[in-house]
Structure 1
Amino acid sequence: MKVAIFSDSHGQGWRINQVLNEVSGINYLVFAGDKFADLNEVKLDGFEEVVAVRGNHNFNPELPREKVVEIADKKLFITHGDNYNIKYGLDTIYYRAEELAVDIVVFGHTHSRFIKEDNGILFFNPGSISLPRDGAAPAYGIIEINNGEITAEHYDFIK
């Protein structure tokens, strides 16, 4: 299963659409918050599931602040991260991940790419598709789950 991960589009939903038009074989779309309205620019059919959570710049109360989904027998915890003080470290989100017994944590908010495995839990931030703060290009992520194995990579957004 191939999961496209986006966060922090901040008015640049067309970038998500461009990636989805260029990358083949995506089964799931995950949006880790901030400007869900940008997904109005995205063709959302053809995915097994589209999962989106509310960020600190989303004011749509219909979106959850966090969500747990199962994809290919792996549990993913998706949150924007601001409500877990992610800018100050993984401690709070790590304890929540353990409490939920998840395999993967997807978050955004920092606008910086991040990947780390800790005690069997993969922590993944795709970075920002529009306004990166890590000195790198705008980015997105792909997580693949095949036969119980998880691989995760960051990709530069290229106009």
Structure 2
Amino acid sequence: MKFLVISDIHGSEGCLKTALASFPDFDMLVLCGDYLNHGPRNPLPEGWNPKGVAEILNPLSGKIACVRGNCDAEVDEMVLSFPCLSPYANIFAGGGRIFVHHGHLYERERLLSWLPEKTVIVSGHTHVALLEEDGGRIFFNPGSISLPKCPEGKTCGTIESDCSGIRRVALHSIEGKLLREIRL
């Protein structure tokens, strides 16, 4: 199974289109929050069109696993055709576990104490890409597709699993270039 992991869209229709076009063969879309709104601390992202983002995501609703970001609100569910306000999601794939949260509620130490080894812990929020192992767990932040705050620029990620568990976690540019990966 192939998961496309996107965070911090912040209403950028153009960046979302680019990321989805670069990875057309995903089985599930994992969204780490901050879908439509740019928030008071951020500039308007390139291609800002929250309605356009909703129009792209809604037909994919059957393939989406997602969590609430700090810029998401109840009003967003009025235009999105999937529930998007959970603080976290657990995805079990081939004996592996993916724990998804936005990144503003749960600290690393708490997650290390809560979640078993071999869990892939996915978050967004910081707009800074991260892929590292800590305490037998993989911490993965795919960065932001619209408002990056890291040298890699606009990024997203993929997670691949098979019947034995999670096999690969990778960070990519939104154009599809592989930037780094961890193979399990």
TM-score (norm 1): 0.81
- Identify unmatched segments of 5+ residues in structure 1: 85-91
Which one of 111, 115, 128 corresponds to residue 127 of structure 2? Answer: 111
* Structure 1 residue 137, shift from structure 2 partner: 1.7
Partner residue of 2:80? Answer: none
The answer for the alignment partner of 1:101 in structure 2 is 116
| Structure showing greater Rg | 2
CA deviation after TM superposition for structure 1 residue 30, in Å: 0.3
Structure 1 residue 155: deviation in Å?
1.1
Check if 1:148 corresponds to 2:156: no
Q: How does 1:71-110 map to 2 (within 5 A)?
A: 71-84=93-106, 92-101=107-116, 103-110=119-126
Unaligned 5+ segments in structure 2 are 38-49, 76-82, 176-184
What letter is aligned with 1:134? C
Aligned to 2:18: 18
Q: Is the 8 A contact 2:3 2:158 kept in 1?
A: yes
Aligned-residue Cα RMSD (Å) equals: 2.5
Equivalences, count: 152
| Structure 1 counterpart SS, 2:30 | strand
What SS does structure 2 have at the residue aligned with 1:155?
strand
- Counting aligned pairs with the same residue, the percent is 29
The ranges of structure 1 where at least 4 consecutive aligned residues each deviate by more than 3 angstroms after the TM superposition are: 36-39, 43-49
